[in-house]
Structure 1
Amino acid sequence: MTMADTRERLVRAAADLLVEGGRDALSTRAVSAAAGVQAPTLYRLFGDKDGLLDAVATYGFASYLANKHSLGESDDPVDDLRRGWDLHVEFGLSRPAFYLLMYGEPRVREARQEADAMLRRIVERVAAAGRLRVTVERGAQLVHATGMGVILSLIATPPEQRDLELITAAREHVLQTITTDAPDDTVSDIPSRAVALRAALNENPTDALTPAEHGLLAEWLDRIARRAGRGITRRPTGL
């Protein structure tokens, strides 16, 4: 058996123990015994228990991201955001021990980067469609924070006491907060147009502007978008 095979065997054994008994079940002795591997081999491969936990979290993210990729993209980025939310919540509630390890550990950052990038990409598509009323950064943060809050709240609640309608209510509330209906030609839609232009310039930078001018324009567009985030969408007067 190669070291790569041994490593995978240990990670799978740790993943099974995590599902069965939670993080407390992940002692190096228990994982070594479950994998049929000597403890020194575990330390040689992972360094310590923290290294093993990082590997298990990465294993969990691989499963989550495979499901995320399988969703694909539709012509409606807002609906894609909704479907991504549902998948995220379903994963968290069906594999709570994994979710707590993946999102509850401050150290486990690298494994989350691809998941964060996928969420940002969907929000950027919403912006490019002219349907985002806040900046891409703010939109992604609100979706992530709200979804994570819902999942952690439900995980902490006994299954028989969970209000599953909270999932849909929170989802639609955050979508209503950060998105607009299909873009129209009204002047009051200026903030979402600013977000859309900002996203388009990020995707396809123009050589008509110098880097300094591009940065200044981005700052102005972000300022307009942030006004929308404070609920300022009034139609300008005197124009």
Structure 2
Amino acid sequence: MSENGSAEAIDGDVRTRLMRAAEQLLGASADGQISTREICSLARVTAPTLYHHFADKHALLDAVVLEGFSTYLEGKRAISPSGDVLTDFRTGWDMHVSFGCEHPAHYRLMFGNPQAGQAAPAASLAHDAVARTVAEWGEQGHLKVSVDAATETMSAAAVGVTLQLIAAQADSTHPLSTNVRDTVADALFRPSETGDGVAGAVTRPARQLLDALPHGPLEPLRPTEVALLREWLASLADSST
């Protein structure tokens, strides 16, 4: 967005003007590289005013991206689950990738420059949302792997695909997204379960108990008994697959 008067007028209090100015500039930027001078000019404030409301430009951009992603998540939560875990996974994946492709500058600020222990607030929000959903799927017995492993796999794959599509200036319907999405689904989710009869009543609790067992000692059982318990639970958990 240029500063020559063609930009949309920014109204509201100072903090709101700063956020809307940064939002407009991000929307016109392919890579999220916008300057403090551009933001202040569009918001009609001085640099010291920006620093009065935000620690620095990065804090302002974090707030803008977090606000946008929070709005996206509110819309996503309004969609009722279909009742089929694979359908819901694919829908969630497609929405995530679409958000990134439609808001490339925002998405790059969320995930494009990760630093250890310094995740962007919106990236942390995205990860937490995925973790909650995956935890529910784990409790329902749909996962082949642990909840943590499934969460990290889904997050890493979706972010990697989205950043690749952004770099290629492709949209979310690109085969790369659907191919990786379906490969991840095959790797993480168990085959469809009937849930009928004794088998359906046993396999799911067995999986849940197996996932809940600690990795170390389990008093008052002896190590050999714990190993046998794990073996039995694994057999029961896999009995319907």
- Both proteins in one fold, TM over 0.5: yes
C-alpha distance in 2 between matches for 1:24 and 1:169: 28
- Structure 1 position 41, deviation (Å): 0.8
- Structure 1 position 56, deviation (Å): 2.3
User: Corresponding residue for 1:117?
Assistant: 128
- Name the amino acid aligned to 2:175: E
Fraction of identical pairs, as percent: 35
The 5 Å alignment of 1:30-179 reads: 30-106=38-114, 107-159=118-170, 164-179=174-189
RMSD of the TM alignment (CA)? 3.4
- Structure 1 position 27, deviation (Å): 0.9
Give 4+ residue runs of structure 1 displaced > 4 Å after superposition. Answer: 184-187, 192-195
Structure 1 residues without counterparts, runs of 5 or longer: 203-211, 214-218
Query: Do the aligned partners of 2:109 and 2:120 also contact (CA within 8 Å) in 1?
Result: no
User: Corresponding residue for 2:4?
Assistant: none
Greater alpha carbon shift after TM alignment, 42-51 vs 91-100: 42-51
Query: Do the aligned partners of 1:14 and 1:56 also contact (CA within 8 Å) in 2?
Result: yes
User: Corresponding residue for 2:7?
Assistant: none
Greater alpha carbon shift after TM alignment, 135-144 vs 34-43: 34-43
The 5 Å alignment of 1:177-188 reads: 177-183=187-193
- The 3 A distance-change label for structure 1 pair 89 and 23 is closer
Higher helix share: 1
Greater alpha carbon shift after TM alignment, 32-41 vs 16-25: 16-25
Structure of higher RCO (CA pairs closer than 8 Å, 6+ residues apart): 1
- The 3 A distance-change label for structure 1 pair 154 and 194 is farther
Greater alpha carbon shift after TM alignment, 37-46 vs 61-70: 61-70
Query: Do the aligned partners of 1:132 and 1:196 also contact (CA within 8 Å) in 2?
Result: no
Greater alpha carbon shift after TM alignment, 112-121 vs 125-134: 112-121
C-alpha distance in 2 between matches for 1:137 and 1:195: 15
Query: Do the aligned partners of 1:19 and 1:97 also contact (CA within 8 Å) in 2?
Result: yes
Q: Secondary structure at the match of 2:144?
A: coil
- One of 196, 208, 230 as aligned partner of 1:196: 208
Query: Do the aligned partners of 2:144 and 2:188 also contact (CA within 8 Å) in 1?
Result: yes
Query: Do the aligned partners of 2:134 and 2:151 also contact (CA within 8 Å) in 1?
Result: yes
- Structure 1 position 194, deviation (Å): 4.8
- Name the amino acid aligned to 1:170: V
- Name the amino acid aligned to 1:64: Y
TM-score of the superposition, structure 2-length normalised? 0.72
Structure 2 residues without counterparts, runs of 5 or longer: 1-11, 220-225
Query: Do the aligned partners of 1:11 and 1:59 also contact (CA within 8 Å) in 2?
Result: no
- Structure 1 position 133, deviation (Å): 0.3
1:20 aligns with 2:28: yes
Kindly tell me the number of residue pairs found equivalent between the two proteins.
206
- Name the amino acid aligned to 1:83: T
Q: Secondary structure at the match of 2:13?
A: helix
Q: Spell out, residue by residue over 1:173-230, the C-alpha distance to the aligned partner (whole angstroms, 9 max, x if none).
A: 101100012236669x96x75543467x79xxxxxxxxx86xxxxx98xx88xx99xx
TM-score of the superposition, structure 1-length normalised? 0.72
C-alpha distance in 2 between matches for 1:145 and 1:99: 14
- Structure 1 position 45, deviation (Å): 0.7
User: Corresponding residue for 2:3?
Assistant: none
- The 3 A distance-change label for structure 1 pair 55 and 158 is closer
Query: Do the aligned partners of 1:133 and 1:195 also contact (CA within 8 Å) in 2?
Result: no
C-alpha distance in 2 between matches for 1:147 and 1:100: 13
User: Corresponding residue for 1:216?
Assistant: none
